[in-house]
A and B are shown apart, each in its own frame.
Chain A
Amino acid sequence: MAVEFIDIVETSLAGIGTGSLMALTGVAFVIIYKATKVINLAIGEMLMIGAFVFYGFSAGLALPIWASVPLTLVVAALIGGLIERTMIRPLLKDNPVSVFMVTIGLTSVLIGVVELVWSAEPRRLPEFLPSQPVLLGDAFIPSKTAYSFVIAAAAMAVLITVFAFWRGGIALRATATDRAAASSVGIDVPGVFSFSWMLAAVVAALAGILVGSVGGISSAMGLFGLSVFVVVIVGGLDSILGALIAGLFIGWLEAMVGRFMGGEFKLLATFTILLVVLVVRPYGLFGTHEIERL
């Protein structure tokens, strides 16, 4: 089978576009993991609920885009804070497995809530990204993919700046490094826990809006979280840089596999990589080498 070079380029670009969204969601996961050491299996569902809240504002209440995006992010922050206070905080002192299983329960709850309010039917978000396709040289990129890549990249730049310079971001990094030390220099550690979940929910909701505007929304879109899971394991659970690189890589890989081998091989490819990474290098590419080993 002769594969046209331009075909490879276009598939790669589209894959990197999707990958940027995985990376953004992966960053949301990493924020939570860094601050609270919780492996959040419900990250895909947090993304989903963000997309549906946006749908509720923009299509349900017919608000303009410039109003519904900020409103969605505020609601997402509230949801994130609520989850942290009611479900995560009581168990943080317990063993990590319990908290992990709480997030599994959360998955089920969020799917149920979305299906209860909006039904299980797939829906389309209102069009808000420009629709003329983008040409990069000879390669044709669907406009939504291109613009969501730009937005995701901008969001990531903001996040990285926040972590590098803003006091709250530094407090979060300090908490991630050593809770007791952070607490003793006057950082409000429980506050950081809440803040990290709210921030992660906001980032996930933003990613959800973008994912939804590219591929539509449904109560099953939390499956996107499975790929994100692979991204953060490959990148290293506590590494933002790792999430970025692994996100782009996994997105690219899924696109290439989906285009040249068939859509059903996508998950197989990513999860095979996941298994290999888990066995060979469990802390991922850039994660801290502190994983418990036998």
Chain B
Amino acid sequence: MRVGTAKQSYAADEGLFKTDTQKVWFGLLLAALVLFPLNGSSYWMFLAVLVMINVISTTGLNILTGYTGQVSLGHAAFMAVGAYTVAFFDGRFGTPVLLNLVLAGAVAAGIGYLVGLPSLRIKGLYLAIATLAAAVILGFIFLNWTPVTGGLRGLNVPTATIAGIELATPDRLYWLVMPITVVMVLAAKNLFRTRVGRAFIAIRDRDISAEIIGISLFKYKLMSFAISSFYAGVAGGLWAYLFRVVTPESFPALASIFFLAAVIVGGAGTIVGGIFGAVFMTLIPEFLKLSATALVPWFPDASIYLAPVRNIIFGLLIIGFLIFEPMGLAEMWRRTRRYFALWPFRT
């Protein structure tokens, strides 16, 4: 049993890592991330890259929905903005990869700022509907602004090239995506140790009180929209380098629900929850695909049912977690840790 962790200074109390144990675990996680490519399977490398892209995007939505309390139904559209930005700049001008990614984030953040503007007037569910409308309008732009977006055919994305090395395959791309993911997730974690992050949380918990104590709702809500969209834009840019083609079909409306589901299932308002949710929700379809393949000897057409069953499971996960575990996987994880930390006592 671990007795409470006494802090000797405010700095220690507000630290990113509260205990040495956490530092050790984080070190182990980093080591695992570095050693992961040793497994050598390109399928797993592809999955790992996809999971990390989704982790970035989910963390972004978590900042907006989980921490600031603004539900967005347009998150995938911001990813699409990032993906198109990368495709446009890399394809048209051949600008360096990292610059493209920053541009992707910046353009998405700018548009996110605009989409956040209605939050000046409306909130809660009305705002969610406004983001849905924004996503529909963005989808229209992707489809019809042919000179820039390539219309229905979309855009092809050149191979990402850093310092002369072509990152053509997922196992090379991993070394671009993994550090970016680590940095962005850590940045998100740090954000909530700052004034800005605390303002977000205050707005989520009680917006009127937040305004009374001097938080400019307008400024911080828009900031939250912009930061969240920045994450989505960077994730979308990486997505473009992974799949090498962007079309209006790449980010359907259902994808926004995917990220919302990831935030809910993982645990809204915790960074680790965003990670859990993204990993879990990305791996479920793969798991279903594997089980469908395994069932083929008995049910030859098992793969036909894959897509509908995936939809049903996505939906049931959202509903089930909201009803039975509103705090998500992160809360289950916390309870498990607590059980071992307090053993042999029970709570």
Q: Which residues does A use to contact B, with CB under 8 Å? A: 39, 87, 90-91, 94, 96-98, 100-102, 104-116, 119-120, 226, 229, 233, 264-265, 267-268, 271-272, 274-275, 278-279, 282, 291-294
Interface secondary structure of A, over-half rule? helix
Tell which of B130, B309, B317 has the most Cβ of chain A within 10 Å: B130
Q: Which of B25-33, B131-139, B187-195, B337-345 contacts A (4 or more CB under 8 A)?
A: B131-139
Say if the beta carbon of B81 comes within 8 Å of chain A: no
Across the interface, which residues of A come within 8 angstroms of B313, CB to CB? 112
Across the interface, which residues of B come within 8 angstroms of A271, CB to CB? 133, 136-137
The answer to whether B136 touches A226 (Cβ under 8 A) is yes
The answer to whether B121 touches A294 (Cβ under 8 A) is yes
Shortest CB distance A254–B (Å):
13
Say if the beta carbon of B199 comes within 8 Å of chain A: no
Q: How far is the CA of A17 from the CA of B134 in the complex (A)?
A: 28
Say if the beta carbon of B331 comes within 8 Å of chain A: no
The answer to whether A108 touches B308 (Cβ under 8 A) is no
The answer to whether B316 touches A109 (Cβ under 8 A) is yes
Across the interface, which residues of A come within 8 angstroms of B130, CB to CB? 274-275, 278-279
Across the interface, which residues of B come within 8 angstroms of A112, CB to CB? 308-315
Q: Which of B5-13, B37-45, B237-245, B318-326 contacts A (4 or more CB under 8 A)?
A: B318-326
Q: How far is the CA of A116 from the CA of B73 in the complex (A)?
A: 26
Say if the beta carbon of B128 comes within 8 Å of chain A: yes
Q: How many residue pairs at the A-B interface have CB separations less than 8 Å?
A: 136
The answer to whether A106 touches B133 (Cβ under 8 A) is no
Closest CB pairs A-B (n = 6)? A112-B311, A105-B318, A108-B315, A109-B315, A112-B312, A115-B308
Across the interface, which residues of B come within 8 angstroms of A107, CB to CB? 257, 315
Query: Which residue of chain A has its CB nearest to the CB of B118?
Result: A279
Query: Which residue of chain A has its CB nearest to the CB of B304?
Result: A119
The answer to whether A105 touches B121 (Cβ under 8 A) is no
Query: Which residue of chain A has its CB nearest to the CB of B320?
Result: A105
The answer to whether A113 touches B124 (Cβ under 8 A) is no
Say if the beta carbon of B260 comes within 8 Å of chain A: yes
What's the interface size class on B, roughly? 35 or more
Question: Known: A108-B312, A115-B307. Is A101-B264 also a contact (CB below 8 A)?
Answer: yes
The answer to whether A101 touches B260 (Cβ under 8 A) is yes
Across the interface, which residues of B come within 8 angstroms of A87, CB to CB? 319, 323
B246-261 vs A, Cβ < 8 Å mask (1 yes, 0 no): 0000000010010011
Shortest CB distance A83–B (Å):
10
The answer to whether A268 touches B137 (Cβ under 8 A) is yes
Tell which of B73, B309, B312 has the most Cβ of chain A within 10 Å: B312
Query: Which residue of chain B has its CB nearest to the CB of A281?
Result: B121
Could you show 14 A-B contacts with beta carbons less than 8 Å apart? A90-B323, A97-B125, A102-B322, A104-B73, A105-B318, A108-B314, A109-B316, A110-B315, A229-B132, A264-B143, A272-B133, A275-B130, A279-B130, A292-B123
Q: How far is the CA of A115 from the CA of B309 in the complex (A)?
A: 9
Q: How far is the CA of A109 from the CA of B257 in the complex (A)?
A: 12
The answer to whether A104 touches B257 (Cβ under 8 A) is yes
B120, B126, B309, B318: which contacts A101 (Cβ < 8 A)? B318
Question: Known: A113-B308, A267-B136, A278-B129. Is A101-B322 also a contact (CB below 8 A)?
Answer: yes
Q: How far is the CA of A102 from the CA of B134 in the complex (A)?
A: 22
The answer to whether A106 touches B319 (Cβ under 8 A) is yes
Shortest CB distance B318–A (Å):
3
The answer to whether A104 touches B143 (Cβ under 8 A) is no
Say if the beta carbon of B279 comes within 8 Å of chain A: no
Question: Known: A112-B315, A116-B305. Is A97-B133 also a contact (CB below 8 A)?
Answer: no
Shortest CB distance B93–A (Å):
29
A90, A91, A102, A108: which contacts B257 (Cβ < 8 A)? A108
Shortest CB distance B217–A (Å):
6
The answer to whether B311 touches A278 (Cβ under 8 A) is no
A264, A265, A275, A292: which contacts B124 (Cβ < 8 A)? A292
A98, A265, A272, A293: which contacts B322 (Cβ < 8 A)? A98
Across the interface, which residues of A come within 8 angstroms of B308, CB to CB? 111-116, 120
Question: Known: A87-B323, A112-B309, A115-B307. Is A104-B318 also a contact (CB below 8 A)?
Answer: yes
Across the interface, which residues of B come within 8 angstroms of A233, CB to CB? 126, 129
Say if the beta carbon of B22 comes within 8 Å of chain A: no
Say if the beta carbon of B140 comes within 8 Å of chain A: yes
Q: How far is the CA of A115 from the CA of B130 in the complex (A)?
A: 29
Say if the beta carbon of B291 comes within 8 Å of chain A: no
